[in-house]
Structure 1
Amino acid sequence: MDLGTVLRWTAERHPRRRAVGGKSPMTYAEWDAHTDRLARALAALGVRPGERVVLSLAGGEPLASLHLAAQKLGAVSVPLSFRFAPPELAYCVADAEPALVITDASTAALADEALAELPPVSRIASGTPHEDTIERLALRQPSGSPDVRVSDQDISVMLYTSGTTGKPKGVPRTHSAEHHAAIAHLIQSGQSRFDATLGVMPLFHTMGLRTLLATLVGAGTWVPQVKFDADEALDLITAEGIGSLYLVPTIYWSLVRTGRLAEARTVRKLAYAGSSMTPALAEQLAGALAPESFVNHFGSTEIYTFTIGPDVVAKPGSAGRAGIFSRVRLVDPDPAAPPDAEVGPGEQGQIAVSMAGPEAFAGYWHRPDADAKSIRDGWYFPGDLAIADEDGDLWVAGRVDDMINSGGENIYPEEIEDALIRCAAVRELVVVGMADDRWGQAATAFFVPGEGMTPEHATEVLEAFVREQSGLPSLKRPKRFVAVEAIPKSGVGKILRRELSSGNYRALSDSAAEAGR
């Protein structure tokens, strides 16, 4: 099924149900009519089915409505990060070759700079209807959906990967893949029909789209928050009666630190993705909210679901087993290993995911080099390492690229991070392998000091914790501790280890420097 039809059928079933919450609410009938007119406005601007429309907007309802309008026209939505620097935006626009670029007040200056050196491309603003915007053009369009036949095998969206290594890659995804991913999300995350959910994850990221589309399929209420603020998020949760949350761990940490999480009494279902969650954070969330379900979703932009850990309370940190539309195996960690080179029971291997599942993409946009690296014999290799326990559940051990080889031994950062994050001197922490004359690579703990602690004192406390309370063998103990103001992250909260390993940080305190004095 195509996604325009998904919205239309939901509106037919539940025309008066609240579709969009927040300051500018809409029923499903209103949202369906609004996106029909936006689709006609896109056509009036010359956009044809199959052509790409770059959406460079801050987020919220305007971006969601334009994304849905593109679906109805059979155009390809290309939502791009509003956090891009001009060169990144210019690269993605040039790569996508769009028929139209849409910006808003927050991104207009960025687009001016990024597009200045590119061949001319049609562009229009999004904003209040009294301005010269696409919304004003939409008001002049007749009612009813465009007379366009959209196939479920047409491309719905092209998302650009966050580019934590190298240039961002375009990931084209069909209407069918997006629809199956939304259904899988409803079944696997615990989100129910008619649930209200917080739409704070950006729509240029697969988690943001999944929250939006699963809510449409389930006739729920999507409550947008354009820019995350922990206190505002809690206000929205209580005011809108939000029942399910699907967030990255960094946002959950922010909600916990408000001290107000217990106010979120309507939240009954929790799910997370994007990065690993420490057992300490999982314990705090479970204790404050006592959720009916608490799910770890493990997947990617390319294939939405790899595995599902259905009970974070019972097995914190476990990535679980293959999703309902997925097939997963562990193969030899060699980067060139074929998908049939499966490892034995209890052995660590790299994850391979079948591309025969309906949530999968078919290959990258204009990147045969990336296809050759990540796709082999119909299987997708995301570069993650894992071990299966005696129950068959996976435990992700890190990335192939993140593995630290120290003194000839392989060390995986996540295991060290899980132990050290419990230290009271630490607010955030990440472990990275840094070049070292003696060890080859030295496990180095970069951390943000706890509230009210000086960097020097926090470093001393953390070093003592590692020796006396972490339970880590000497081999896995960090050789160096560096206090920093913040851990570098991508626009959706993914930790950028390469920023640290390349030396792009300012140390507030460094145990190596202290030892050298």
Structure 2
Amino acid sequence: MDLGTALRWTAERYPDRRAVGGPEPLSYAEWDDRTDRLALALAGQGVRPGDRVVLVLSGGLPLASLHLAAQKLGAVSVPLSFRFGPEELAYCVADAAPALVIHDEANEQLVTAALDAVPGVPRLRSGPGAGTIEQLAARGGAGTPFGSADPAATSVMLYTSGTTGKPKGVPRSHSAEHYAALAHLIQSGQSYFDTTLGVMPLFHTMGMRTLLATVLSAGTWVPQARFDADEALELITRERVSCLYLVPTIYWSLLHTGRLGEATSVDKLAYAGAAMTTALAERLTETLRPSRFVNHFGSTEIYTFTIGPDVRAKPGSAGRAGVFSRVRLVAPEPGASPGDVVAPGEQGQLAVSMSGPEAFAGYWNRPDADARSIRDGWYFPGDLAVADEDGDLWVAGRVDDMINSGGENIYPDEIEDALVRCPAVREVVVAGTADDRWGQAVTAFFVPEPGTEPALAVETLSEFARDGAGLPSLKRPKRVVAVTEIPKSAVGKILRRELGAGHYEVLAEHDLQERT
């Protein structure tokens, strides 16, 4: 199945159903027609099947419509982050070698600066006014642009965040995207006619999955171009949103509005992108009382690794392999073979079979990245985990997040789960910082609760870490640092390495080494 056909078939089945919510609602018939016209407009700009189209838009309906139009044309959608700097954006554009770059007014300055370094790439603006892709689509004729795309052809190329080097292009086929959307429906419990908040960016796999799964199930996608907690609550309550699929940091932000309990329509929760603390899972369960609460563990490259189907029963568990997935734990040493399976109860690194239908086939123009991450038909994402007596996985962190302190390997997740319960803490992240004595010191970076004086918050957390967190001495922080904010990626993922590298603004700090 190709994705253009998937939208067309849903529109044939339910032409009058509400496809898009929010300030510019559309039925499926209207969205199908709009994306047909946009596909014809793209063709009129010289875009052909197989060509890449870079999309640099803030998000929302214009970006989703252009992505779906590219699917109908058989072109490759390449949505790029509006939070890239000009150099990083220029690198991705040059790497993708697109036939066309489309941007909105909000990102015009960014795109102009980036394209100065990539001469000769055609560009077109999206939005109201003369000469935009939408105006060209409105002036053009209606009708189906082309036949169905080959399911094996590339549908989209997403770029990974590049926190450990240059961003990597991840080409994904129509078939892989379709299977990933089906997997999401099965695994999250999202069903026919559900209404979903579309706030996760479409340059991220979670945003894509929310959009496509909703299209397949004839649901209503409620776009929010950029996350704002109060605006999101208004959309959720007004549109009667029933499903949320978000990163933990966004759930925290929604809770901190103090109004999440008003979202009585929300019945199904899923999260991905980062670990969720037990404290957050408990508060969401108490506030929303969802019928489904799912931990999705996966990546851009292979959408699903494992699924924790009941966060209420096993908070923090990543569960077992997804419906289309196969996983195993192997020796944690670099270069380990997929056959080096660890013994039951031992920690190992995750290996995921690439024979599943959700998998990519390899990185774009990056044989070096393929060599590091792919071995004998298995993908090695760099995550460490252990299986419990039931066979469910518990992710211990990433190989590169590990803190080696005094010769002991320590992983941040357990420490963060304990420290976030301190009443002076709004957000907390644990990372290793250089230390002459320990090699790396376990350091707790935290944002104090509003109204709490930073020096007092530091003292409160220091005492909590020592006396109230239940942490063994080895895992207690040796430094506690109050910061203005926790660095995050464009999709809300915590950039732990930024903290370890010293990229933060200190409000107050305390060295606890004498105490520990």
Local SS of the residue matching 2:124: strand
Residue 301 of structure 1: how far off its partner (Å): 0.2
Local SS of the residue matching 1:124: strand
- What corresponds to 1:271 in structure 2? 270
CA contact (8 A) 2:479 2:512 kept: no
- What corresponds to 1:120 in structure 2? 120
Rounded to whole Å, the distance in 2 between the matches of 1:234 and 1:450 is: 21
Local SS of the residue matching 1:347: coil
- What corresponds to 2:163 in structure 1? 164
Local SS of the residue matching 1:392: coil
- What corresponds to 1:155 in structure 2? 154
Percent sequence identity over aligned pairs: 73
Local SS of the residue matching 1:445: strand
- What corresponds to 1:252 in structure 2? 251
Residue 243 of structure 1: how far off its partner (Å): 0.5
**Deviation readout 1:390-447 (Å, 9 max, x if unpaired):** 0000000000001111111110111111111101111101111111111111111111
Local SS of the residue matching 1:15: coil
**Deviation readout 1:444-464 (Å, 9 max, x if unpaired):** 111111121111111111111
- What corresponds to 1:408 in structure 2? 407
Rounded to whole Å, the distance in 2 between the matches of 1:311 and 1:270 is: 10
Rounded to whole Å, the distance in 1 between the matches of 2:174 and 2:339 is: 30
Give the counterpart letter for 2:46 in structure 1.
G
Aligned runs of 1:476-495 on 2, under 5 Å? Answer: 476-495=475-494
Aligned runs of 1:296-315 on 2, under 5 Å? Answer: 296-315=295-314
- What corresponds to 1:68 in structure 2? 68
Local SS of the residue matching 2:503: coil
- What corresponds to 1:287 in structure 2? 286
Give the counterpart letter for 1:157 in structure 2.
V
Local SS of the residue matching 2:281: helix
- Alignment: residue pair count: 515
Residue 515 of structure 1: how far off its partner (Å): 8.0
Cα-Cα RMSD: 1.2
- What corresponds to 1:417 in structure 2? 416
Residue 241 of structure 1: how far off its partner (Å): 1.0
The answer for unaligned runs of 5 or more in structure 2 is none
CA contact (8 A) 2:479 2:513 kept: no
Rounded to whole Å, the distance in 2 between the matches of 1:223 and 1:118 is: 35
Residue 512 of structure 1: how far off its partner (Å): 3.0
Question: Is 1:448 aligned with 2:450?
Answer: no
Give the counterpart letter for 1:95 in structure 2.
D
Rounded to whole Å, the distance in 2 between the matches of 1:419 and 1:379 is: 34
Rounded to whole Å, the distance in 1 between the matches of 2:112 and 2:105 is: 12
Local SS of the residue matching 1:250: helix
Rounded to whole Å, the distance in 2 between the matches of 1:206 and 1:147 is: 26
Aligned runs of 1:460-499 on 2, under 5 Å? Answer: 460-499=459-498
**Deviation readout 1:485-504 (Å, 9 max, x if unpaired):** 00000000111111111111
Question: Is 1:234 aligned with 2:237?
Answer: no
Question: Is 1:14 aligned with 2:11?
Answer: no
- What corresponds to 1:391 in structure 2? 390
Rounded to whole Å, the distance in 2 between the matches of 1:119 and 1:86 is: 14
Local SS of the residue matching 1:401: helix
- What corresponds to 2:435 in structure 1? 436
Rounded to whole Å, the distance in 2 between the matches of 1:498 and 1:257 is: 26
- What corresponds to 2:344 in structure 1? 345
Local SS of the residue matching 2:401: coil
CA contact (8 A) 2:4 2:148 kept: no
Rounded to whole Å, the distance in 2 between the matches of 1:436 and 1:346 is: 32
Residue 34 of structure 1: how far off its partner (Å): 0.5
Residue 513 of structure 1: how far off its partner (Å): 10
User: Structure 1 pair 475/515, CA: closer, same or farther in 2 (3 Å)?
Assistant: closer
- What corresponds to 1:331 in structure 2? 330
Rounded to whole Å, the distance in 1 between the matches of 2:66 and 2:349 is: 38
Runs of 4+ in 1 over 2 A off after TM superposition: 512-516
- What corresponds to 1:179 in structure 2? 178
Rounded to whole Å, the distance in 1 between the matches of 2:116 and 2:449 is: 44
- What corresponds to 2:57 in structure 1? 57
Residue 262 of structure 1: how far off its partner (Å): 0.9
Rounded to whole Å, the distance in 2 between the matches of 1:484 and 1:515 is: 22
Give the counterpart letter for 2:67 in structure 1.
H
- Say which is worse superposed, 266-275 or 452-461, in terms of deviation: 452-461
Rounded to whole Å, the distance in 1 between the matches of 2:509 and 2:459 is: 10
Rounded to whole Å, the distance in 2 between the matches of 1:501 and 1:260 is: 34
**TM-score scaled by length of structure 2:** 0.99
Give the counterpart letter for 2:397 in structure 1.
G
Give the counterpart letter for 2:23 in structure 1.
K
Local SS of the residue matching 2:418: helix
Rounded to whole Å, the distance in 2 between the matches of 1:450 and 1:225 is: 27
Local SS of the residue matching 1:276: coil
**Deviation readout 1:5-47 (Å, 9 max, x if unpaired):** 0000000000000000000110000000100000000000000
Rounded to whole Å, the distance in 1 between the matches of 2:493 and 2:245 is: 15
- What corresponds to 1:34 in structure 2? 34
- What corresponds to 1:361 in structure 2? 360
Residue 190 of structure 1: how far off its partner (Å): 1.2
Give the counterpart letter for 2:195 in structure 1.
A
Rounded to whole Å, the distance in 1 between the matches of 2:180 and 2:496 is: 29
Rounded to whole Å, the distance in 2 between the matches of 1:449 and 1:515 is: 23
Rounded to whole Å, the distance in 1 between the matches of 2:54 and 2:3 is: 18
Rounded to whole Å, the distance in 2 between the matches of 1:54 and 1:249 is: 29
Give the counterpart letter for 2:4 in structure 1.
G
Question: Is 1:3 aligned with 2:3?
Answer: yes
CA contact (8 A) 2:10 2:28 kept: yes
Local SS of the residue matching 1:505: coil
Rounded to whole Å, the distance in 1 between the matches of 2:439 and 2:155 is: 46
CA contact (8 A) 2:179 2:357 kept: yes
- What corresponds to 2:189 in structure 1? 190
Question: Is 1:261 aligned with 2:260?
Answer: yes
User: Structure 1 pair 515/472, CA: closer, same or farther in 2 (3 Å)?
Assistant: closer
